[in-house]
Structure 1
Amino acid sequence: MAKKTGTPTYEQLINATIKRLVLTITLTISLVILVMVGVQQTVSTMHESRDLMNSLHQANIKDVPSFIHWNNSTTRNTQQAAFIRVTTNKATITTTTKSKRTILTTPSSKAFFAKNQTKLVGPLVYVRGFGFFVTYSEKDGQNTYQLWVSLKRLISSFFLLIVLTVVLTLITLGFGTWWAHRLAARLSAPTIDLLHETKYTSNNPDADQPTLKIPASPREINDLGQAFNELLVAQNQRLQHERQFISDASHELRTPIAAIRGNLSLIRRRGDAHPEIIPESLNFIDEESLRMQHLIENLLHLSRADRAKLELTDQDLSFLLLQLGEHYQPSIDQPVKLAIDPDIHVPGNAEMLQQIVVALLDNAHKYSPHDQPITLSLTQTANSVRLAVADFGEGIPDDQKQAVFQRFYRVDQSRSQEIEGSGLGLAIVKQLVTLNQAQIEVTNNQPQGSIFTIIWSKPTKP
């Protein structure tokens, strides 16, 4: 079997699915952590900034000494660098939280306030050379309080968290890929083993196929293997039946052909010297050719029955059997007794039903003494309809009752040449009975003989 390029294998599909799952879970968890930490840090920074602003507002700073007093006495919780400017009617004072001591109008604050500030969103501004800040401004009478809290530390922490998350994602993805490969290989191993078994089995489709070695787990693969084995058993049986059918058909056809060729050779060799043998040989050729014609017709009937699909309609089986019994009686010397209950209907095909009954009557006629009757009966019970053909012939041994429905099977091989027939009649009957959704069985008649019974089961009422 040629390997299809471009078609992913079962292992590759599992591997890709697991890798996508691991990557999705890792990215989702990382994104959630980033958002939660980012929000928490942002809220904390905002809260610290608001606390510092409220402290400024409550201090009621009016001049430099009061600003120095507030700056020395206030505990600043913010971990971010901040710039503070207080404007009163007397002075403008600035300081920064980056130093523990009081710095008024420091070089850094002068440089900071000298820069242009770009307002972004809400309280967020950008100061060139200093970065991003959150700014607050409040006015209380003659005083104006302004606060700029740097987000540099927050952004650095956030960036570090992103780097750690990316590294963790790559590590997890690498480990997940390795784990997915191992898991995919383990999960796909039973399927691959079953595939190899199937390929080995299908190397010679004309030979009997051995059953597959089925993995014990997983259950789905085990069930699939069981189904394959059941299919192989059915295929082997079909191959055996076909070989037997071809062998039997060849044997049955070989006999009349050999007889015809033998008589033709006899006519060529001795026809001129002994013309009296010509009519006898021609009669024999005619009989054998007729026998071969019947055999071929039966083979065609059997082939059609194997492939037939038909719709069943309601049939008045009682009326059909009465007609068949009356028309069949003049063609045989045995008396035909009819025991047919009236008004019995079954689903079926009228032509096939006639063929079934005639074949069973022919079989009873061939194997019954000329002075013994053949009984054709039809009865009905609450659960079934039973059509039976009974004779008083030699009967069928119990170990051969099922074999009589096989193709070319003859019960008494020593008498197979004495009693005309191809051995296909009952095989055709069984196939036609199956197509009419019925069953056929053979039992012993008393004191001797056989009874062939066709049974239609009635659906049980709920």
Structure 2
Amino acid sequence: MLARFLTHLTKPLILFYIVFIYIIIFSVWWSVLLFQKNTIAFDEKVELNAIGMNLSIEEFKQSASYEKLYEKFSRQRLMIITEGTTFLMLIVVGLFMVRKSFIRELDLATQQRNFLLSITHELKSPLAGIKLSIQTLLRHTLNQEKKDRLLANSLTDVERLEGLVENILLAAKFDNPSYGFANEDVEVSSILCATIRQMQGNYPRHEVEYKQAPEGIIRIKGDKLALSSVIINLVENAFKYSESAENPKICIELSASKHQIQFTISDNGVGIPADQKQKIFEKFYRIGNENTRSTKGTGLGLFIVERVVEMYDGIIKVTDNEPHGTTFKVQLNTSEPQIARNPELSVS
């Protein structure tokens, strides 16, 4: 809590807290002053009424006139306390809401800055790789094996750029309701298996355990780009964030039932802190600092995943994978899945 407070303690917020403290002190001081003035006025009225009735102050306090005067004074005192407290509470609530909005905007500005830093890196890296491969092919005479390797590396970089563009496009679609989503046949099992094979090529150290029920090609109606993004982002994250494990392992399960498909992916990587499990679905949000983090990403992936899941009236849950890592569970409500038997469908 203290660390978060100090993180957001910028010059505008320091000024805000100074103004906040001044308003509180000013309001309390005026309330006390008004309360004291009311008490002085009451004492003076008691003294004047006692003189007017030729009574001592003690004798006047025993009269019915004093009781009426004291009752009026009590109502005024209660009014001052009630109105002062209400006014003070409104100020506190109002200033708290202003502070909350300011910090939200500050967080959003920071996340957008991080997005620009990461998107610059994500664009430059594959472009530099493609440029280097092409220059090597043009300037040197290479055997076929080296040519094939350079072309394969270039293709991988192109696919990385394609995935980045697709994520940006999807994020823009969700921000603009005028964009529509397709309703076509989507072979989710084929997309999943192809994604796993691609990730295994990029991360050869990983062990993958894949289970599917029923076996075969699971086909549903939906938007291919959106559904592919859910699968690709979750699978890619599992591989990326478990790379540092001594023996990285990914467990993936896909199942289909009437009007529903379920997808679960677990890794034994670094895991996600409990206080950030909900924040990871915010747009542009990434754990850590953009200047020091080494893992690639833009902060759009899980934002898109959650929005697509919501679009299909589904549920996504993130939990710890004991003893290490993270588990994502996705449930999508769709048209009744179609199952086509295909013995060649595999992740190997």
Tell me which interval the TM-score lies in, with the shorter structure as reference length: 0.3 to 0.5
Structure with greater Cα Rg: 1
Query: Which structure is higher in RCO with an 8 Å CA cutoff and minimum separation 6?
Result: 2
Q: Which has a greater percent of helix?
A: 2
Which TM-score applies when normalising by structure 1? 0.36
